[in-house]
Amino acid sequence: MLKFILKRLALLPLVLFGVTALLFSCLQFLSPEMRAALYVKDPRQLSQLDAVIEKYGLRKPLPVQYGIWLKQVAHGDLGYSETAKMPVADAIRSFFPATFELTVVTFLPIMVVGVFFGVLSAVYRDKLLDHITRFVAITGYSLPSFVLGLGLLMVFYGRLHLFPPGRYTLDTDMLVHADSFRHWTGLLTLDCLLNGQWHAAADVAEHMVLPAATLLYISVALLLRITRSSMLEELTKDYVRTARAKGLPERAIIRKHALANALIPVVTLSSLLFIGLLGGVVITETVFDFPGIGRWGVQAAQQLDIPGVLGSTMLAAFLFVIANLVSDVLYAVVDPRIRVGD
């Protein structure tokens, strides 16, 4: 197992190199003028377009630019992101914890609700519970996140004056930026608790309720559907029939036999969901004014902020490799017949 994990981790630099090389080769389709758009945003700056191209070396051949960038990376410098207005490494350190916190808060409920109701839906097939679950899954899957997000915002924040958008209130803002506040983990809720600031922790948590609820509803739908269909498939297999014929209690059949097998596709899907959430959820972050990594990544792409795009893509690739590795390991945990590395 360890050998397998190390082998996969050893491939990581190669994956990152491949991703960035691919991105740079795509850039050759953009002229220097197009790439200067990152710095020339106002018609008042048009007359200095050439000066901008010269200053940022945008006329240099792309292999040369890639070489310069790789050299920088080798020295631990990922470049400067114009959209984040900070070095790329700082941008990742700034934006990622918020997204990670939101992901952690959202992912556990997604798993619990998705698997639990997916199994129940399969067990009580065509009963009222199944119908309700399927309705929830279909609406959740088909409802655009910005509609749901704005709807929730209007009801809870607009009408009930609860769960405001943003990251925190001004009071918490002052508190977390005070010299006495220690950032132990980078996860704000946890840091507030570790600093003994219960009110601030509650404030930060309150700001995460609506984005988390939106993500939960949108994401749980798919998991619910997959769990249900996987479970249904297992429940019709011969070994389940045999178990029933042997007189095993239904609960034991479901828990000990069918569920373990039904979880394989669920593990795959949940790892993809986890990556999706960690990579940032642009729409939700935009609607709730939540400063996560997805919003930055999209802004960087829209404005052709090359270091920003490279940084966020490398992070996404890294997460993808790690999540795949974790799901491979989990397969073996869920089903001991699967031997990792085979």
36 makes contact with another protein (CB under 8 A): yes
- Nearest by Cα to 271 from 333, 324, 335, 315: 324
Distance between CA atoms of residues 246 and 225, nearest Å:
30
From 8, 16, 52, 78, residue interacting with another protein (rule: CB under 8 A): 52
Query: Closest CB to another protein among 204 and 258?
Result: 204
Tokens, residue 126? 């065509």
Sign of the Cα pseudo-torsion (194, 276, 289, 160, in order): negative
From 8, 167, 225, 257, residue interacting with another protein (rule: CB under 8 A): 167
Name the segment binding another protein (CB under 8 A); options: 13-21, 110-118, 143-151, 273-281.
Answer: 143-151
DSSP-assigned letter for residue 43: G
Query: Closest CB to another protein among 37 and 260?
Result: 37
Name the segment binding another protein (CB under 8 A); options: 101-109, 119-127, 287-295, 325-333.
Answer: 287-295
- Nearest by Cα to 223 from 132, 121, 323: 121
Distance between CA atoms of residues 76 and 315, nearest Å:
15
249 makes contact with another protein (CB under 8 A): no
Would you say 210 and 157 are in contact if contact means Cβ atoms under 8 Å apart? yes
Query: Closest CB to another protein among 13 and 180?
Result: 180
From 70, 289, 317, 332, residue interacting with another protein (rule: CB under 8 A): 289
166 makes contact with another protein (CB under 8 A): yes
Scan for tokens 């969901």, then name that residue.
273
43 makes contact with another protein (CB under 8 A): yes
Number of other CB atoms surrounding residue 228 within 10 Å: 25
The radius of gyration of the chain from alpha carbons, rounded to an integer in Å, stands at 24
Name the segment binding another protein (CB under 8 A); options: 71-79, 179-187, 225-233, 282-290.
Answer: 282-290
From 40, 129, 272, 329, residue interacting with another protein (rule: CB under 8 A): 40
Q: At what angle do helices 88-123 and 259-278 cross, to 10 degrees?
A: 150
22 makes contact with another protein (CB under 8 A): no
Contact mark string toward another protein, 172..191, x via CB under 8 A: -x---x--------------
DSSP-assigned letter for residue 179: T
* Geometric angle at alpha carbon 232, from 230 and 123, rounded to 5°: 120
Distance between CA atoms of residues 328 and 227, nearest Å:
18
154 makes contact with another protein (CB under 8 A): yes
Residues at the interface with another protein (CB under 8 A): 30-31, 33-37, 39-52, 54-55, 80, 83-87, 94-95, 98, 144, 146-147, 150-151, 153-154, 157-159, 161, 164-167, 170, 173, 177, 283, 286-289, 291, 304
